[in-house]
Structure 1
Amino acid sequence: MELKKKYIHMSHEKGRAMSQVTLDDDYNVPESKPDIVRIITTKGAIHLEEAKAETGHVLLRGNLGFQVLYRSDGEENDIAYLEGEIPFSETVNLDGAEEFDPVKATWDIEDLNIGIINSRKLSIRSLIVFHVQMDEVRDEEISYAMENEEDYEIRKENIEALQLVTAKKDTCRFKNEIILPSNKPNIRELLWKNVQLRGLESRIGEDVIQFNGELLIYILYQGNEEDERLQWLETTVPLQGEVDCSGCRDQLVSYVGVDDVSFDVEVKPDYDGEERMLVVDAVADLDIKLWEEEQFEMLQDVYSLKEDVRPVFEDITFEKLLMKNNAKCRASEQLQLEATQENMLQICCAEGSVQIDTHEISGNGVYVEGTVAVELLYITTDDEMPIGSLKGFLPFHQTIEVPGIEKNSRYEIESGLEQLTTILIDNTQVEIKAVINLNLIAFSIGNRKRVQEVNCQEADYESLQKIPGLVGYIVKDGDDIWNIAKENHTTVREIMETNELSSDRVGKGDKLLIVKNMGA
């Protein structure tokens, strides 16, 4: 029997894995840099160059980039800066992985320890946790009708599901030029730079995804020879960008995640030829998924009063949007200087990054725990060590409400820092306040039986003769009128007419009179 079919484009999680990697290497200070006397602060970032699926595993290649701000051996205890990188290649075992499967890899730098071996050599040690997820995109075949339906008893079900429209990786570049304020001296040497992406929002348009947010930019630098003091600048600039995305429209369900942000800050001459212009170039790696909510009929069961009809069933899983929830969480903490640290005179820069430690479905939502790793650069009261660093953590927890969520529901969370403020209490204490964005999209999982094919043959009249011609039936728990009619060789319509029912709904304990139909 020929069935009429259509295809639903879907994405299913194929597998996920986690791997811890320890990087341990020595780094020689370039000849162009002065000797290291004392490290002030360090920072690291992962630059993933390749995430490639192979049979049974995923290959990750890239480097750990690091920055070091330190006091040099200059006569006036000069502040200097260097940056470098350590390459890595890691294999993450993942059952079911096949070549060309799409891979999503994220990471957390759980520990970065940079120490001094001697004035010309550093020890770099880091613990990195990689999370790898692999999705399978395929077309699911759905039977929605069959030939000569009037000759058969047909049961159909209305299904609401998400059909995948787009799943791709892309990048969005943001470029800004900043001119130093008139009260700041020219830049002689850039000592430290930091760019943070804050409050990034996406909006779906016709064949395009638009982005809005802001860049928080901080630099520490040596001024011109007329002003030997350390100089710094902290400023924000609005950003706008867009990514072409064929098939986009505002009615679609969207998930746009930021996997990574890389940046570069260059000093260039302004229009008068003075070193007063900063060119900030930031690139965001995006994970884009778009779905369309679609309703369709699916053939659920079939039988005949004239033939022996045997449908072949297969399991199928549908996803339906439960909720998109853009939650905000607040955290605050007081940080205290250690006895060996120089006292604070003024805070120059506050940098923060969000890390989710655990998340799970709990009650009517998703419970999330994590930390905001915070680092402050500040001007000290010690002229021999003019700049200091203070690091700390702000714990947070939040339950993101998702009505209707169940244990088998699927969800994705993206976190980001919206706001970070500092209040200097005294020269040894500072209060930190943070606002964290927790953007969640949740899907319900529906499991169904689909009719894959229908085999027909002549009716077995000997078996039919064994079915009673008249039955008094008491409805059991879990019964429905369709299955009762199929088992007793009649139709739903005839049971309703015989029992004068106005609806095909029956409940436990209902009494029915059933007359067998031989299909003559």
Structure 2
Amino acid sequence: MELIKKNIHMDRIRCKASSQITLEEDMNIPDSKPDVSTLVYDKGRVQIEEVKPTADHVTIRGRLLFHILYQSREDGQQLVHVEGKIPFEEQVYLEGVQSTDSVQVNWQLEDLTIGMINSRKLSIQALMTLKASVEELYDEELPVDLYQDGLEGESSVEYCKNPVELTQVAIQKNDIFRVKEEIALPANYPNILNILWDSVKLEDVEVRPLEEKLSIQGEIHVFVLYESEGEEQTIRAFETVLPLGGTLDCHGCRDNMIADISWEIGNQELDVRPDFDGEQRMLGLELVLDMGMKMYEEDRVEMLTDIYGVTKQVDAVAREGDLKKLLMKIGGKSKVNDHLRVKNSTERILQLLHSEGKVQVDATEITEDGIAVQGVVNVQVLYVTGDDSNPYNCIKGIIPFSYTMEVQGISPGDSYRLNTQLEQLQVAMLDSEELDVKGVLSFGAIVFQSIPATIISNVNVSPLDVNILSDLPGIVAYVVKPGDNLWNIGKRYYIPVAKIKEINGLSGDELRPGEKLLIVKGA
């Protein structure tokens, strides 16, 4: 006798850990750059270069890349851009990881503080969190049928099946999506001499599964602050929005699959190019999106859940397993709003140039109502002042938020993946000293319900103990008790369920407490 099994492709996080590290370093201004008068704007990102797992540990090597915009002390060159990097190496304790595992590392830059030591030296301080995890694919072998060989007829073994609804992994892979665009300056903008600052962000990104491919749609927001050609070399700000659209081949993908797609900008290049007349009026943009693709499909399996013998002793060997099914794929939006003020009256706002924000999720928790999310939005606004000696400045602010994604039926043991983006950031002047900041947070989550299951892994067949049958009465008038069913009654008396129904003239499987059944041994 053999079990016929079906492989179900599952995924799980085997181990995970996080580490918070601080980086501090001083930076000398290059000799080719003028002295620093005031710091204006900054940004940073983490680049992971190497992940090396060993027994219960993982070594992460990378670097912090930072960009700084400052005002110089010299006349004629008001804004200057410098950049730098700080390498780091961190060993994270990750219990259960092995040297052959593939470890995924995510980062979050919690804080970046740039300080001025003197006109030729800056201090850089950063606080970041590294999250390491090992996610693995595995197969759960579910018994779906029984192959009988050597037993006396099909009726010598009784088994029952129960339907199990579950979700299994169909596709898991990483890929890249390339974007190449050329942007022409409007006619009323002067030629570009030098780019001082740029910002490229993706918003409203939607990835949908199609047949054998993925559809990628969204928006590319591009901001450029540049020094123009000409004797005055004025500083101009240019901002535009480009459509993001295309497809990415994905073998085996179908449009009815459940997509769980993560993406981030892996590489970005923005340069100045000549137009047809040879003038520097074109911007060339190249983006590489790192795509993490995981596709699920729902399945319904008739799983064999119990078995007993009529003429043989048949014992099931079972183990505890953990299946899962899609509970909900949900999205939601929440508005944030706050006012920001300048630090002192000498930094009054004359004109807004650019604003950007970054979502930082601090905590998530499963509650009775769903998934509670708490965090902050870090906002940075670049503006022109009314002070000719310091014509540019920046306002930074932190806007806290809390939001609950309603997920009916969620339990503490369920798993989920959360994605949060900032959309539609709008900054408006209330007066020369105060700004009104409004934004929309977009939340997306895929939630899986955990299904504990007792899975039969093997069946042992042995001769039936004659003493067991001899101890059973020949005929029993059985009174149905609460919780009884035909299956456990038949299993107790070694009688096929069909025979009990036939003898008692039952057309269905339902029994009522107090109902009387006639049980005949050897029927």
Please give the range of the TM-score, normalised by the shorter of the 2 chains.
over 0.9
| Structure 1 residue 97, shift from structure 2 partner | 1.3
Letter in 2 for 1:99: S
Partner of 1:300: 305
What is the deviation of 1:296?
2.0
2:115 maps to 1:110: no
The alpha carbon displacement at 1:514 in A equals: 5.3
Higher mean C-alpha deviation, range 120-129 or range 425-434 = 120-129
Mapping of residues 396-407 of structure 1, within 5 Å: 396-407=401-412
TM-score by length of 2: 0.94
Matches of 2:353 and 2:518 in 1, distance apart?
85
Contact 1:364 1:403 in 2 (8 A): yes
Aligned counterpart in structure 2 of residue 151 of structure 1, from 153, 156, 163: 156
Say yes or no: does 1:255 pair with 2:260: yes
Give the secondary-structure state (helix, strand or coil) at the position aligned to 2:30.
coil
Contact 2:480 2:511 in 1 (8 A): no
1:279 lines up with 2:284 in the alignment = yes
SS of the residue 1:462 aligns to: helix
Q: Secondary structure of the equivalent of 2:192?
A: coil
Amino acid at match of 2:332: A
Q: In structure 2, what residue type is equivalent to 1:400? A: M
Query: What whole-Å deviation, never above 9, does each CA across 1:101-128 have from its counterpart, x for those lacking one?
Result: 3333222111112222333322221111
1: CA distance, partners of 2:346 / 2:497: 83
Q: Look up the match of 2:97.
A: 97
Residue 518 (str. 1) matches residue 519 (str. 2): no
Distance 2:503 2:352 in 1: 85
Q: Distance in 2 between matches of 1:119 and 1:498?
A: 100
- 1:490, CA displacement in angstroms? 2.5
1:263-412 alignment, distance < 5 Å: 263-339=268-344, 342-412=347-417
What's the secondary structure of 1:188's corresponding residue?
strand
Residue type of the partner of 1:518? G
Match of 2:151 in 1: none
Per the TM alignment, residue 504 of structure 1 is displaced from its structure 2 partner at its CA by: 2.1
For the residues of structure 2 that align with 1:58 and 1:136, how far apart are their CA atoms? 16
- CA drift at 1:21: 1.2
Aligned partners of 1:98, 1:458: CA distance in 2, in Å? Answer: 46
Letter matched to residue 308 of structure 1: Q
Larger displacement relative to structure 2 (342-351 or 291-300): 291-300
Report how far residue 456 of structure 1 moved.
Answer: 0.5
Q: Is the 8 A contact 1:418 1:436 kept in 2?
A: yes
Q: Which residue of 2 aligns with 1:218?
A: 223
1:321 counterpart letter in structure 2? L
1: CA distance between counterparts of 2:522 and 2:353? Answer: 89
Alpha-carbon contact 2:68-2:82 (below 8 Å) kept? yes
Q: Distance in 2 between matches of 1:287 and 1:246?
A: 14
2:481 corresponds, among 475, 489, 492, to 475
**Structure 1 partner of 2:39:** 39
**Structure 1 residues 400 and 261 mapped into 2: Cα distance closer, same or farther (>3 Å)?**
farther
Q: Percent same amino acid at aligned positions? A: 37
Equivalent positions of 1:475-494 (< 5 A) are 475-477=481-483, 479-494=484-499
**Comparing 390-399 with 214-223, which one deviates more in the overlay?**
390-399
2:413 is paired with a residue of what secondary structure? Answer: coil
Residue 181 of structure 1 corresponds to 186
More off after superposition, 182-191 vs 337-346: 337-346
Q: What is the DSSP-based 3-state SS (H/G/I as helix, E as strand, rest coil) of the residue aligned with 2:32?
A: coil
SS of 2:34's equivalent? coil
Q: Distance in 1 between matches of 2:457 and 2:359?
A: 47
Unpaired segments of 5 or more residues in structure 1? none
2:58 is aligned with 1:58: yes
Partner residue, 2:3 = 3
Q: Is the 8 A contact 1:18 1:130 kept in 2?
A: yes
| Partner Cα distance (1:107, 1:311) in 2 | 47
Relative to the length of structure 1, the TM-score reads 0.94
Q: Deviations over 1:226-250 (max 9, x none)?
A: 3433211111111123322111110
Q: Distance in 1 between matches of 2:361 and 2:272?
A: 35
Specify the SS of the correspondent of 1:185. coil
Aligned partner letter, 1:48: I
SS at match of 2:162: strand
Q: For 1:241-273, what per-residue CA distance to the aligned partner results, in whole angstroms no more than 9, with x for missing partners?
A: 332211111011111112455422111222211
Is the CA contact (8 Å cut-off) linking 1:488 and 1:514 kept in structure 2?
A: no
* Bigger shift: residues 164-173 or 112-121: 112-121
Mind listing any 5+ residue stretches in structure 2 that lack a counterpart? 149-153
Q: Which residue of 1 aligns with 2:430?
A: 425
For residues 59-87 of structure 1, the C-alpha deviation after alignment (integer angstroms, 9 at most, x for no partner) is 32221110101111213562111111111
Amino acid at match of 1:503: G
Aligned equivalents of 2:166, 2:24: Cα separation in 1: 48
Figure out how many residues of one structure are paired with residues of the other and give that number: 517
Letter of the structure 1 residue corresponding to residue 371 of structure 2: V
Change (3 A) 1:395 1:505: farther
The structure-2 alpha-carbon separation of the partners of 1:115 and 1:74, relative to structure 1 and needing over 3 Å to count, comes to same
Whole-angstrom CA distance in 2 between matches of 1:264 and 1:247? 32
Quick one: distance in 2 between partners of 1:72 and 1:197?
Answer: 32
- Paired residue type of 2:39: I
Are 2:523 and 1:503 equivalent residues in the alignment?
Answer: no
